[in-house]
A and B are shown apart, each in its own frame.
Chain A
Amino acid sequence: DQQVKQNSPSLSVQEGRISILNCDYTNSMFDYFLWYKKYPAEGPTFLISISSIKDKNEDGRFTVFLNKSAKHLSLHIVPSQPGDSAVYFCAARNYGGATNKLIFGTGTLLAVQP
């Protein structure tokens, strides 16, 4: 049972435009969400996170939006740069479960075309 879903395996955008990556979840007990970026042959690197008590968090070119009623979050990258080309993973954590376990989506491959 995939509790965190990234339904778009890939996304292609032009340099300078907005990239929007989507993520859906099913477990209403999730209360902390994270986005990681991963290059081939490297480990994931943390990008941005959001607590369930917020609906938006910004960090430079990256903004994460959370819609709890829809169990949906999205990552906006503006403007997109060729160096942003990587696989992006959405992850969720349930602090009520007394665990640091992260549940990951299957990832979205972003390609930013120069």
Chain B
Amino acid sequence: KAGVTQTPRYLIKTRGQQVTLSCSPISGHRSVSWYQQTPGQGLQFLFEYFSETQRNKGNFPGRFSGRQFSNSRSEMNVSTLELGDSALYLCASSPVGPGDSMNTEAFFGQGTRLTVV
């Protein structure tokens, strides 16, 4: 079974531009979450999608948005890029829905390394 696939792996953008990152979850997984990793900050939660609906959102400005399609693939968009948006963006998929009583881990993709210059 293929893992979580994120594209592109690397991206360089200029301040003020916008960017769209893509995530294909593991087949059969309907829950997708996004995280931002910056040095010294660990992984910060961005948003969570299940069945095409945003279920939870982290403490990020409105420039960060996302969506999920009917095939569970997800995209996140960052508009008006700032230098501080340079980070590794990670997507994770889970076989269980939010609030499901079954404990299971989230499976992460390899991430998209975004550099804003």
Contact = CB atoms under 8 A, between A and B. Distances in A.
A43 B92 CA distance: 9
A106 B41 contact: yes
A44 B55 CA distance: 23
Interface string A86-114: 00010100010111111111110000000
Contact of B33 (A49, A89, A101, A107): A101
B111 A43 contact: yes
Interface string A15-47: 000000000000000001010100001111110
B36 to A, nearest CB: 11
Nearest to B96: A100
Given A101-B33, A107-B42, A43 B98 contact: no
Interface stretch (B14-22, B68-76, B79-87, B102-110): B102-110
B50 to A, nearest CB: 8
Given A43-B4, A45-B108, A102 B45 contact: yes
Interface in B37-71: 40-45, 48, 50, 55-56, 58
Interface of A: 32, 34, 36, 41-46, 49, 51, 89, 91, 95, 97-107
13 contacts: A36-B108, A43-B6, A46-B106, A49-B105, A89-B42, A95-B101, A95-B103, A99-B55, A99-B56, A100-B98, A101-B45, A104-B44, A106-B40
Given A91-B43, A95-B103, 5 more contacts: A43-B6, A43-B109, A95-B100, A95-B101, A97-B99
